[in-house]
Amino acid sequence: MHRCILFALSGLFTCAAVAQDAPIDAPAIFQQRCAQCHGDKLQGGNAQSMIDGVWQFGAGGGLKNNIKHGITHLGMPAFEAVLSDAEIGAVADYILEAEHTAGAVKPPPPTHLQTLDYEVNVETWVEGLNSPWAIDFLDNDTALITEKPGGLRVVRQGKLEEAPVSGTPAVLYEGQGGLLDVAADPEYAENGWIYLAYSHVLDEPGENPPAMTRIVRGKIENNTWTGEEVLFEAEHEHYLKTRHHYGSRIVFDHKNNLYFSIGERGLQDHAQDLSRPNGKVHRIRRDGSIPRDNPFKSKSGALKTIYTYGNRNPQGLAIHPETGQLWATEHGPMGGDELNLLQSGLNYGWPLTCYGRNYDGRPISEFTSKPGIEDATHYWRPSVGVCGLDFYRGEAFKKWQGHLLAGALRYESVELLTVAGERVLHSETILKNAGRVRDVSSGPDGAVYVVLNGPDVVLRLYPEAERAY
């Protein structure tokens, strides 16, 4: 994932014929197309520096996509009409090599933020984690954090316990798979149940065995996982050999129904197939039984657990604290991340409607809207890499009550979304460039907790003062 580059438009866009094996002069292309905005030494100018270790719009392979397809709403043009793929790749490599040569180091997370409503203090609450994925609180003093390779960690009074919980399920730690979400039972104080979502692999001979998202619950006694119960395990014929788009978020509604997401696992047409679990949000009871009013419980051939379908890869689920409505963020392809208000039995479009296009630039669908398909409440184009979602419920940031906190991997951001009914009225970025935001949570103390990858830490945001106008 990469930062946006506001390339200079110097002169007319013309393409000269180049011999097939002619070397590509990436520095010359950069000087011609990019230096006017980014500086002749990549130091920045009208647009940001390329050698400061800060990537506002993602780092990695996304740099080529930014150059090729542009970020038009920010003024960055697309260069696919004037530069070949080979030239774009050479320019991206030149920029990354220049950054490496400059010894760029990503700045540490900030210690202070200024938002529209608050001056905010930021502290590194927990460090020493290994690819943390999710956080949930058991009580005012205790939190659980999952680590993608398989660790379940306990934090007591702000201190990470040295040893992970033993006996947790074996996970397929490969690609986007691993130990993913964790959620405490709404009545945890009485029953002690804890819920996990993870990538479960079948014990089959040969390479690349099939896997699927699995939901279990258990209890922690003496730092050991005990009493495990499997709540959802797909039919083994529906397990897949792909290693991405597991979904895996877990939330509970006001009636204590459990919702969990499964991405379409890279097989987009499966999202429209009600006989398959992937590309759906599911609803079960806390013991794994099926609610009587599930929308497809009586439909022949459909999975009884399905609540919504046509979902690409939802990695954010949240229940509105007052209305009980279920909201979800899901990854789009190249462009078209979505925020949706999910309602029973409805189709959310993937891949029949889409706000983005394939990673190679080809269209997925010519439609962004169709009869019988729910339009997104809000969407991001280009993709920000939405991941982690929660409604703020505390007293510390009173002006934020009922607002959505939406994390982003690619843009390394947390957005505060003002929601009214079924609409998003305003969006404010309250955290930027601290790391890839895997999860965001409204804590029991009123602080906002942000789970980061790169660095693998959890930040705690709390107000210093309310801003006066």
Q: Across 65-210, where does the E strand assignment appear? A: 112-114, 118-126, 132-137, 142-147, 152-156, 159-160, 179-184, 194-201
| Nearest in space to 377 (alpha carbons), one of 335, 344, 415, 329 | 329
CA–CA distance from 391 to each of 135, 299, 331 (Å)? 14, 33, 19
Tokens 């951001």 found at:
413
98 φ, ψ (degrees, to nearest 5): -65, -40
Q: How many CB atoms lie within 10 A of CB 52?
A: 17
Please count the residues of the chain.
469
Q: Is 245 labeled as catalytic in the residue annotation? A: yes
Q: Which of the 8 DSSP states describes residue 173?
A: -
112 φ, ψ (degrees, to nearest 5): -150, 140
The catalytic position among 2, 69, 200, 245 is 245
Q: In what order do the strands lie in the sheet with 194-201?
A: 179-184, 194-201, 211-221, 224-232
Retrieve residue 254's tokens: 């006001």
**Interacting residues of 452 by C-beta distance below 8 A, sequence separation 6+:** 109, 132, 434, 435, 436, 437, 438, 458, 459
| Nearest in space to 304 (alpha carbons), one of 324, 327, 329, 284 | 284
Retrieve residue 95's tokens: 């920029």
Residues taking part in catalysis: 245
